[in-house]
Structure 1
């Protein structure tokens, strides 16, 4: 009975998707108006290709957003090094830009097709991937079922399930099993994630650790870094990165509380740059002077806030400070990845809502490189203490660098898990030399 319900649910999902498919243009138009879609490439979302398929074996990588794209970049480079072509799909314009910056012409980038049978079928008919590799937790029912019906192996890498996502799937066990059983392999970030995938019906499941630890440090513009450091001079700095609504205001409150004592410069980098106009307006309303990266505003001594409103420059912003608060943790839930500030030599502060990165924070906190703050007042005290205590700040920075080193190895483990699927493609690539264009 349960399997019948699952089949009925998937059949209904398929027919509903097919029915609303002609109306998807309005949904995409709204997203385009918000800067979340590229109007010039909207046809890709319907499965229409905008680039030729390379000859020879092809792996389809899907990474939903920026974090997933960064995480799988080293893995993609390893696949390409073996002579296998890659088509990479992402779901946002931001992740598309990151893919272009980090991978360039090494991959063919397309926007992910809508999870409706016409779009997915058109995409698969054209690209004919030999293997599909999905990052983290992107479970799209129609895509998974369609890949399964074509007997295309699909592997979930760097897999994780948040508390909320796991609870949602547990309420639909038959549907979860009907989908997760299509996965040829799940490579999970942690034992907790692995057990959750097994509970939902995925087999086999292995643990690799977090691929984000094995990524290179975020790149930066050396010339811009030198200029900003000269402008900052002896001023003390701290950064609030990957912030969500409410956290910019919290950073402004911290700044006003501390600036008179230290001539402080606060760096704020919202998670979604399209919010920066509204963020700047709110900061100005609090009588704070704002400099923006996109305007190339100089960081003069009277500037209170340096607003990082660009994509792909986290490496620049974090190299301007040694204290970083990681957002989506005070007023939003889930948290953001603390590994980038840790690997770039920052003492890490965070709110307590870090469910999506629980194991990472546990490791950093255990080693003394991250501290959890309960509220804005505690954040202000933490920033003030770290800026005024060189020994403690240096101790946390060193512990963070050591923690990152201890957590490395996920890329090697992931490649090992993928070998049964990759090795035949390596042989195929050698027998059928790939031709560009």
Structure 2
């Protein structure tokens, strides 16, 4: 395996970065970002024994990535009866979600820190037969140590923003070294495919397969909870602001003041709930908070949906949804889920993480771009007045058109298991 200068320097540094990660972990524990009961897993100490038989290891950084691979994991386990699956991730929210959603013969571990000693301890215990990285969180030391053991590696659902693609071109040698161990690289969009080709990644290894999220079945929900909320809300107009980030709730609330009806407000990070609740009440709006067991009534302006795993409920309840992470420079969030549940979408200008799908949606009338409170309010009002059905139909057509990533990923994993 060849090295770039930057890669060589990182590899040297990774022998000595343990104290830095220890300092980071102390702060993360103090801020509630890491689970104290699982802190040792970050140092490569296993939380359980290795299961017998072949083990396929998936690494997916956070909630979005982990959700995207669940159908793939279910298909893999159904196809190969003697395989077990381990999923690593870095966030507490993804760990909670996986504890609930992983099928039998699959389990979760917290991803280890990227130091030489920790990576080797982790691999010595787990000894995966295939290693699968999802999207874009690539740790150089771990990649090197896995390749050193001649474990087949795949990169699935890869995507890069325009900013990352520019960085790759500036540091092409380093990017090529990071991507060199992967036997196949499945990319979501043509822009990512072009970015990899521009830095000299072998074209035979890179395949345009689409996004795994496009193949997921629609998000589930509790039908009784949905029926109850519809009865409670009655005929009031309802819209949803999904996966909002700091700086976006102010715009959403300003727009809602012009719209009226009921706003279901779903912050991307539930730990911001009290901050958002204070913001709502500071504007003199009536608030109901789901995590406290409160229900909306005829006087509720904002229903703060600060719970995990209920987006399927909110997209079914609201015929119109603004998708957050797009007014602030976050890069946007997944449009596939609302499209599958017929919730007509609006989005802001910063969707560089999903650039091609949002461009297709806009071009075919499947989503409406907005830039601030005024056109957000106008867009929501127009959709609630009746246009939401046509917009939702167009979005569903666009999303269905490019499915197939799960089948391609499953075939790649089966090929490596037989290697």
TM-score class, shorter-chain normalisation, is over 0.9
TM-score, normalised with respect to structure 2: 0.95
Partner of 2:87: 88
Tell whether the 8 Å contact from 1:244 to 1:332 is kept in structure 2 after alignment: no
Partner of 1:52: 49
Partner of 2:98: 99
Partner of 1:428: none
> Unpaired segments of 5 or more residues in structure 2?
none
Partner of 2:372: 375
Q: Secondary structure at the match of 2:157?
A: strand
Measure the CA separation in 1 of the matches of 2:163 and 2:395.
28
Q: Quote the offset at 1:88 in angstroms.
A: 0.5
User: C-alpha offsets along residues 2-51 of structure 1, whole Å, 9 cap, x if unaligned?
Assistant: x66x1x43343233233230342331122223332111000000011011
Of 12, 15, 18, which residue of structure 2 is paired with 1:18? 15
Aligned pairs for 1:403-418 within 5 A: 403-418=398-413
Partner of 1:284: 281
Over the residues paired in the alignment, what is the CA RMSD in angstroms?
Answer: 1.6
Greater RCO structure (CA 8 Å; 6+ sep): 1
Of 341, 345, 348, which residue of structure 2 is paired with 1:348? 345
TM-score, normalised with respect to structure 1: 0.91
Structure 1 residue runs of 4 or more that deviate by more than 6 Å after TM superposition: none
Measure the CA separation in 2 of the matches of 1:156 and 1:351.
29
Is 1:329 matched with 2:288? no
> Unpaired segments of 5 or more residues in structure 1?
425-437
Is 1:398 matched with 2:399? no
For residues 405 and 381 of structure 1, do their structure 2 counterparts lie closer, same or farther at Cα, with a shift above 3 Å needed?
Answer: same
User: C-alpha offsets along residues 365-417 of structure 1, whole Å, 9 cap, x if unaligned?
Assistant: 233111111222111100111112x2x21111222222222222221222233
> Which deviates more, 218-227 or 116-125?
218-227
Measure the CA separation in 1 of the matches of 2:195 and 2:250.
36
User: C-alpha offsets along residues 124-147 of structure 1, whole Å, 9 cap, x if unaligned?
Assistant: 000000110010111111111111
Of 295, 298, 304, which residue of structure 1 is paired with 2:292? 295
Partner of 1:159: 158
Partner of 2:215: 214
For residues 194 and 276 of structure 1, do their structure 2 counterparts lie closer, same or farther at Cα, with a shift above 3 Å needed?
Answer: same
Tell whether the 8 Å contact from 2:238 to 2:262 is kept in structure 1 after alignment: yes
Tell whether the 8 Å contact from 2:68 to 2:216 is kept in structure 1 after alignment: yes
Is 1:178 matched with 2:153? no
Measure the CA separation in 2 of the matches of 1:10 and 1:206.
25
Partner of 2:195: 196
Tell whether the 8 Å contact from 1:236 to 1:265 is kept in structure 2 after alignment: yes
Measure the CA separation in 2 of the matches of 1:30 and 1:226.
43
Tell whether the 8 Å contact from 1:187 to 1:417 is kept in structure 2 after alignment: no
